[in-house]
Structure 1
Amino acid sequence: MENFLLWGFYFLTFYAFLPGLVSRTFGFRVFKRGRAEREIALTFDDGPDPVYTPLLLDLLKRYDAKATFFVVGIHAEKHPELLKRMHDEGHVIGIHNYVHKTNWLMRPRTVKKQINRTCEIIRQATGSQSVYYRPPWGIVNLFDFSNLGHLQIILWSALFGDWRKRVGSERLLNRMMKKLRPGEVLLLHDCGATFGADKDAPANMLAALDPFLAAGQSKGYRFVNIADMIALTDRTKKKAKKPAAMSWMKRIAVSCWMGWEHVFHVLFRVKEVAEDCLFFYRVVPYHGKTLTLSDGSTIAAKDPVVELHMDNKKLLKLMSEARSMMQLAVMLLREAKKSMPQLARKLAADEAAQPAKGVYGVSMINRGVEQFGFDVLPIPKGLFDTSTRLYLRLLLRVLNPSGKERLHDQRSKLTPIIMAMSMEHFWQQTGSELRNETSAARRNPSKAYEDGLHGGDDLPPVAYDNSNAAREFTP
């Protein structure tokens, strides 16, 4: 019995207590406080509530304040109209489990199911998937750090006990005013229907929030959602950091590499997508084993494919600005989000790309690319795998301002993979209307020219939804 209790203590310590302590105390793998000059992040948990959430949205709208709502799935599925209103009015929606139950009392698989179910409810209501997660009571377990790689865990810098009605609006306001300063991530509640909360407590929160917003506005502060606070924090940290000086040997190595790359582009007819695009491409026959993709299509040997290449000048710039591989990953995802529509426009207008059966590339990215529609496939073991691994590691070592130092800790993650998707799926992701109109223009160029003379509409913008992109992947 003593051994059983001892092992139980060890399990709870490593599974629950230590992860919670480390994340809350040191901010490990979580975001809980920002760095900003005028911005404060408001977050609201446990809703939506059919009575108090609409009143809260009205109040935020009156002050032009943005917020983040961490919704409980069982409440959210009853009120999709409130989720849509949050989204339409510029607020961010995060996940707070399907039921308000601590992760300590659930298996990792159960936690994942709760998150996925709530994420789907949000997607159906808003058309966008959430990338932010706040565990109930801010309690994480050991597996949350690995299982939730596609989500950013958000905690808080201040909470006020507003779920208890007896606190009262006046005392609540006094507590909140002590935290009226830039960079704070404030936790409040717009629903009292969860265990331990008072049903009418949000009335006090609303009564206190009104003068709090007025006071913040009078001081010139802005109330922003968590996505904006994270972006501001990244920019502030980047400004504070002095760029690493590049040695003369590193400058020579980079110059030689860029020169060789330019020659490669000319010799192998690699095409530029746009001046500020992350990608180059060429249309070539595929060489390798048949790729079976998730939509049922295949890419076989000698099938024409659009082969993607990254703009290494842009990669060099991003690596010089990033403080870590994780931050570089975030920056690359943002660039990719902007570049995918540009790639779609270029391919739609390129006659040589029309026979292509898929979009294909080899990269060390191993997290996040699925959100763009790519299938991630392993490279078969052999000479190609070994040579590709060596080439890509050498590339990152040359471009990385700190050489191999920053890559050393990430070595286990630097594994090249194949990323591919069928052209049909590519057009579904990026906008089939663009392809159809561009194809029509190629078939009847005189009509397209006349349309241009008579004020014909421009090509429709490409819609590319990357709201579920992860904050972490390894380039």
Structure 2
Amino acid sequence: MDRLVWWLLSLVTLYDFIPGLISRVFGFRVFRRGRAEREIAITFDDGPNPLYTPQLLDLLKKHDAKATFFVVGAKAEKHPDIIKRMYDEGHSLGIHNYVHRSNWIMSPRTVKRQVQRTSDAIFAITGRRPIYYRPPWGILNLFDFSLLRHYQIVLWSGMFGDWKVKPGAETLYRKMRKQLAPGEVFVLHDCGTTFGADEEAPAHMLLALERILQDGDRMGLRYVGIGELMEITETMKADEKERKTQGGQAAAARRKTGPGKRLVVAVWMLWEKLFHVLFRLKPIDNGQFMHYRIIRYSGPELAMDGGVRLKRGDRLLEMHFDNGKMYEIGMNAKSSVHVAIRVIREVQHALPSLAKEIRRIDKEGRIKGLYGVSTINRGAEGLGFETFALPKGIFSFLTQRYLKLLMSIIHPEGGGRVRKHSDTIEPRCIVMSRERALAWESGEKPAEISEAYRAKRPNL
């Protein structure tokens, strides 16, 4: 009997407690807290609720705040209109099992079935499958890591007991206010019908949340979906890593900029000015980083997301980076990754202006989208671009030689780095459809772009 008890305790420890410990304490395979300068993620569990969730969506819309909803599949099926509203208003959707039942008391097969059924319910309503998962009560079992490997498991950095009435709105507000800072992941509850919760509790949560949103607005915080916070976190980590590991190499490379290279750069900048005149490039944002011209597409037909097809003769807004600005970025960057990050950030900053320019110059809707060719294309998908290999031919050959020469000039480690990795430096077409480009007009990254990008990278 004692041996049987020992074996049962060992099994429970292995199946339940150890996975919970390593995920919640050590953060194994889960996302709990981000790193950001302004962004914070507020997440909601257990809904949707027909009374409180619409009030919550009204409140979020009032403050232009985006959130992440981990929904219960059975409730999603009962209230598809609320799920559709969440999706249409740019919020992120995640899975919270089909019924609110702990993974500790379910077999691995049952957990997988619960998750799949909820995914099917959300897909039927929105046309897109969720990629985020939060187990009820944040409890994982041993097999969740492998069976749910295609989902990003999300926990939290702040929990405030808002599922009970007892704390009240004032206490909830004070608890949240203490932890209100960039990078935090709050978990709140928009439904009080779950076992152990109080049905009226979300009313107190909404009162406290309204004050938190007001405070965040005054502090300059941005309330974003969990996917955007994860992207920002990844970028900041990569940036820091590159600063630590390759800062010395870049500094040495900058010190080696001799008179020969300075002459090449001077000639290059003269050619840059001539190029702008010959091809009649027009500036975006006063020409700080990007210029453009309208062209006719002359390549092979391209099939893009959303059923858009780019055909020969279609009008495009062709983007051109300012090489003077690129040189400045390269000379002040710590590494090639740092160059790419800076360029992506500059492009993101320019996209709202590009959208407004398309709207201004093309009221008839003849411009099919944005187009460019660049060797710095890694990460472009995260902004809504699609990348395509250049078709083989003389244009591809000359473009590759030209862009490698450009990279050897602007690269922080010089031409040696480019020669060493010449086989991996591949110029590619970067294309964005008109509809996706115009979605940037508000100045904020469209939520569907972040979700689409993550859907292609499910194992982050």
Could you say what secondary structure the match of 1:469 adopts? helix
Query: 293, 298, 317: which one pairs with 1:281?
Result: 293
Letter of the aligned partner of 2:448 in structure 1?
N
2:362 alignment counterpart: 348
Give, in angstroms, the shift of residue 260 of structure 1.
Answer: 3.0
Distance 2:425 2:139 in 1: 32
Give, in angstroms, the shift of residue 417 of structure 1.
Answer: 2.8
Distance 2:116 2:84 in 1: 24
Q: 1:462 to 1:405 in 2, by over 3 A?
A: same
Letter of the aligned partner of 2:410 in structure 1?
L
Distance 1:254 1:132 in 2: 46
Are 2:333 and 1:334 equivalent residues in the alignment? no
Letter of the aligned partner of 1:158 in structure 2?
G
Query: 311, 322, 325: which one pairs with 1:312?
Result: 322
CA contact (8 A) 1:50 1:79 kept: yes
1:421-432 aligned at under 5 Å gives the runs: 426=434
Are 2:388 and 1:377 equivalent residues in the alignment? yes
1:118 alignment counterpart: 122
1:33 alignment counterpart: 34
TM-score, structure 2 as length reference: 0.57
CA displacement 1:229-262 (0-9 Å, x = unmatched): 95998999999x9998754718836555433333
Q: 1:28 to 1:403 in 2, by over 3 A?
A: farther
1:195-274 aligned at under 5 Å gives the runs: 197-198=194-195, 200-201=197-198, 203-204=200-201, 206-207=203-204, 210=207, 224-226=222-224, 230=229, 247=255, 249=257, 252=262, 255-267=266-278, 269-274=279-284
TM-score, structure 1 as length reference: 0.56
Distance 1:298 1:215 in 2: 46
CA displacement 1:34-70 (0-9 Å, x = unmatched): 4558x865322232211332455577799x6946231
2:179 alignment counterpart: 181
CA contact (8 A) 1:42 1:186 kept: yes
1:469 alignment counterpart: 449
Distance 2:301 2:351 in 1: 25
Distance 2:180 2:26 in 1: 20
Give, in angstroms, the shift of residue 264 of structure 1.
Answer: 3.0
Give, in angstroms, the shift of residue 338 of structure 1.
Answer: 1.3
Distance 1:318 1:27 in 2: 36
Give, in angstroms, the shift of residue 344 of structure 1.
Answer: 1.9
2:3 alignment counterpart: none
1:52 alignment counterpart: 52
CA contact (8 A) 2:98 2:115 kept: no
CA contact (8 A) 2:119 2:129 kept: no
Distance 1:468 1:386 in 2: 35
Distance 2:219 2:171 in 1: 17
CA displacement 1:184-228 (0-9 Å, x = unmatched): 3221222356xxx42744634543674687699789767752259
Structure 2 stretches lacking a partner, 5+ long: 1-13
Distance 1:464 1:391 in 2: 34
Could you say what secondary structure the match of 2:447 adopts? coil
Q: 1:321 to 1:185 in 2, by over 3 A?
A: farther
CA contact (8 A) 2:87 2:93 kept: no
1:127-206 aligned at under 5 Å gives the runs: 133=132, 135-136=134-135, 137=138, 141=145, 155-160=155-160, 168-169=166-167, 173=171, 177=175, 180-183=178-181, 184-192=184-192, 197-198=194-195, 200-201=197-198, 203-204=200-201, 206=203
Distance 1:113 1:254 in 2: 59
Could you say what secondary structure the match of 2:448 adopts? coil
Instruction: Count matched residues.
Output: 399
Q: 1:358 to 1:141 in 2, by over 3 A?
A: same
Letter of the aligned partner of 2:167 in structure 1?
S
Could you say what secondary structure the match of 2:362 adopts? helix
Query: 399, 414, 417: which one pairs with 2:410?
Result: 399
Give, in angstroms, the shift of residue 96 of structure 1.
Answer: 0.8
Distance 2:94 2:392 in 1: 41
Q: 1:318 to 1:26 in 2, by over 3 A?
A: farther
Give, in angstroms, the shift of residue 272 of structure 1.
Answer: 1.5
CA contact (8 A) 2:43 2:185 kept: yes
Distance 2:58 2:280 in 1: 53
Distance 2:361 2:445 in 1: 19
- After superposition, the CA RMSD in angstroms is 6.3
Percent identity over the alignment is 24
Structure 1 stretches lacking a partner, 5+ long: 1-11, 124-128, 432-460
Q: 1:200 to 1:25 in 2, by over 3 A?
A: closer
Distance 1:261 1:417 in 2: 21
Q: 1:58 to 1:379 in 2, by over 3 A?
A: closer
